Amino acid sequence: MKSFVFKSNLNCEGCIEQIRIPLHQISEIDQWEVDLIHPDKLIILHGELIDYKAVISKIGEAGYRLEYLPDFVLLNN
Pairing label, strands 42-47, 66-68: unpaired
| pLDDT tens string 37-77 | 999 999 999 999 999 999 999 999 999 999 999 999 887 65
Q: What pLDDT, on the 0 to 100 scale, is given for residue 68?
A: 98
CA distance 75 to 71: 12
Helix ranges (H only) for 1-77 are 13-24, 52-61
Which domains, and CATH codes, for the chain? 2-68 (3.30.70.100)
Cβ neighbourhood burial of 39 (10 Å; 0-12, 13-18, 19+): exposed
The residues, any chain, with a CB within 8 Å of residue 26's CB and separated by 6 or more, are 50, 54, 55, 58
Q: What pLDDT, on the 0 to 100 scale, is given for residue 15?
A: 97
